[in-house]
């Protein structure tokens, strides 16, 4: 599917974005491990989260839904209710599914094979499989259990202390999920903060979990209880609308009930530093997660330097921030973001390749990129590289470019933001 974008006169209105992808994954997984029903509202109906549901269903978890409104009920029977799957589990393109599922499978006393699409089979898994093997799981796979397909024989885990070389919510989450079924305590120490949705949701489901600075500890053998979960709007999806409103003249867009978890709100900090006219209003809580409405109006942006501990808080938003940098005054520089090379695409290379087609002066760095702003963008034909965030970032560039832009292979947008094109259309003023 191709996506055609023409520049509007402005973007205006009030809208919502789909449920948070990270929280949707975790709600389904913890609901499956809990005893009793977990009723989820605003579950993200994207391909990644549906892959998680399908994997759990293959292990005997019963679901009602999800329906078109994102209502999903997980009929949990505890870890004992999960059974050895007859088929190979397919995580599709979802790194969250395969890495967090490895943490669950490590603690289950049966044999499982899990894989994904061609892109996922190229993504590194040793950062998860190595510490899980230290806990007692037996894991086999290509390149010494670094690449999927991966075979897991779980059960009989022993907790321990793990210092992560890089901040990673997926690795931390996998170890905490394994720690639920391990003997003793499992302690994870990070070099910098990463997303804490797993810790928050484990507590919400009744687990005792302790956090002190950059160390998180969970005791094994705990029983989770089903809960009602309302998933906030995904700030990573909202980021595309936020940047679009900031760069398209005359725009004024409000996005309702967006998750503003402090481990995810780096996009707000950077946009403010760039001079965006941005308000965060109506702050409240949903299921242990902070949410708010975000209003963005067009403004003149300036380039900034992004790096260090800020990167884990906005790693998924860097492609669209590169677009913001292309339309800002001065230079945007991103450092300490080598993790971008092992996402759904090599996002450093793909952002550089596609932005150059718009006439942007941009260069790849070893651990990031540099964008020189201030030059008008010209509409072009570009490709998604099968990466949902690249497709949407280029769509935002197209909104601010002269002439028509065509994004090829844009169907991947549905991975995280089903209805993206329709929402853009609803905000257009022509």
Pairwise CA distance, residues 262 & 412, whole Å? 28
Strand order in the sheet with 161-163: 161-163, 185-189, 215-219, 209-212
User: Is residue 123 a known part of a binding site?
Assistant: yes
State the DSSP string of 226-282: --EEEPPBPHHHHHHHHHHHHHSTT-EEEEEEEE--TTTTHHHHHHHHTT-EEEEEE
Catalytic residue among 196, 265, 316, 387: 316
* Strands 252-259, 215-219: pairing kind: unpaired
Q: Where are the beta strands (DSSP E) in 56-184?
A: 62-64, 72-77, 89-90, 111-115, 138-141, 147-153, 161-163
User: Is residue 422 a known part of a binding site?
Assistant: no
Rounded alpha-carbon distances, angstroms, from residue 106 to 23, 110, 177, 275, 308: 21, 9, 9, 46, 32
Pairwise CA distance, residues 222 & 333, whole Å? 45
Nearest in space to 384 (alpha carbons), one of 119, 94, 2: 2
Three-state secondary-structure class, residue 321: helix
Pairwise CA distance, residues 260 & 266, whole Å? 9
Pairwise CA distance, residues 293 & 291, whole Å? 7
Pairwise CA distance, residues 278 & 253, whole Å? 10
User: Is residue 21 a known part of a binding site?
Assistant: yes
Contact 332, 321 (CB under 8 A): yes
Nearest in space to 194 (alpha carbons), one of 121, 264, 97: 264
User: Is residue 95 a known part of a binding site?
Assistant: yes
Exposure b/e, 253-274, CB count within 10 A at least 16 = b: bbbebbbbbebbbbbbebbeeb
User: Is residue 384 a known part of a binding site?
Assistant: no
User: Is residue 313 a known part of a binding site?
Assistant: no
196 is catalytic: no
Q: Burial-class residue 346 by CB neighbours within 10 Å (0-12, 13-18, 19+).
A: middle
Phi-psi region of 394 (alpha: psi -120 to 50; beta: other; left: phi over 0): alpha
User: Is residue 121 a known part of a binding site?
Assistant: no
Nearest in space to 257 (alpha carbons), one of 38, 15, 22, 45: 15
User: Is residue 62 a known part of a binding site?
Assistant: no
- Rg value, the chain, Cα: 21
The CA-to-CA distance between both ends of the chain, in Å, stands at 24
User: Is residue 302 a known part of a binding site?
Assistant: no
Pairwise CA distance, residues 183 & 135, whole Å? 10
Name the residues annotated as catalytic: 316
Residue list, annotated binding site for 3-phosphoshikimate: 21-22, 26, 168, 170, 316, 343
Q: Show binding-site residues.
A: 21-22, 26, 95, 123, 168, 170, 316, 343, 347, 389
Task: Report the binding-site residues for phosphoenolpyruvate.
Answer: 21, 95, 123, 170, 347, 389
């Amino acid at each position: 599917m191709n996506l055609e974008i023409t520049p509007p006169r402005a973007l205006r209105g009030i809208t919502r974005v789909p449920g948070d992808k990270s929280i949707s994954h975790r709600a389904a997984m913890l609901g499956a491990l809990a005893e009793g029903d977990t009723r989820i509202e605003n579950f993200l109906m994207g391909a990644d989260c549906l892959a998680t549901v399908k994997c759990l269903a293959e292990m005997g978890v019963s679901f009602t839904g999800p329906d078109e409104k994102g209502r999903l009920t997980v009929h949990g029977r505890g870890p004992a209710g999960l059974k050895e799957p007859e088929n190979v589990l397919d995580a599709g393109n979802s790194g969250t599914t395969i890495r967090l599922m490895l943490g669950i499978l490590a603690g289950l006393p049966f044999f499982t094979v899990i894989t994904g699409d061609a892109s996922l089979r190229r993504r590194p898994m040793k950062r998860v499989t190595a510490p899980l093997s230290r806990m007692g799981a037996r894991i086999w796979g290509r390149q010494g259990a670094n690449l999927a397909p991966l075979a897991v024989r779980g059960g009989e885990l022993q907790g321990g202390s793990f210092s992560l070389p890089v901040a990673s919510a997926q690795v931390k989450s996998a170890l905490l999920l394994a720690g639920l079924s391990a003997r003793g305590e499992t302690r994870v120490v990070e070099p910098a903060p990463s997303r804490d949705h797993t810790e928050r949701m484990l507590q919400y489901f009744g687990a005792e979990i302790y956090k002190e600075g950059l160390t998180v500890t969970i005791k094994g053998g705990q029983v989770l209880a089903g809960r009602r979960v309302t998933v906030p709007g995904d700030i990573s999806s909202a980021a595309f609308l936020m940047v679009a409103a900031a760069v398209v003249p005359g725009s004024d867009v409000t996005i309702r009930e967006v998750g503003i978890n402090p481990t995810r709100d780096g996009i707000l900090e950077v946009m403010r530093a760039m001079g965006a006219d941005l308000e965060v209003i109506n702050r409240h809580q949903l299921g242990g997660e902070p949410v708010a409405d975000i209003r963005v109006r067009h403004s003149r942006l300036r380039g900034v330097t992004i790096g260090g501990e800020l990167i884990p808080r906005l790693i998924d938003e860097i492609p669209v921030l590169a677009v913001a940098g292309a339309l800002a005054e001065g230079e945007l520089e991103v450092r300490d973001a080598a993790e971008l090379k092992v996402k759904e695409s090599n996002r450093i290379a793909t952002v550089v390749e596609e932005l150059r087609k718009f006439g942007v002066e941009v260069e790849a760095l070893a651990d990031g990129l540099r964008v020189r702003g201030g030059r008008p963008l010209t509409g072009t034909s570009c490709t998604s590289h099968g990466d949902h965030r690249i497709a949407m970032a280029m769509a935002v560039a197209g909104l601010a470019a002269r002439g028509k832009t065509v994004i090829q292979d844009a169907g991947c947008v549905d991975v995280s933001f089903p209805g993206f094109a329709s929402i853009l259309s609803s905000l257009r003023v022509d």
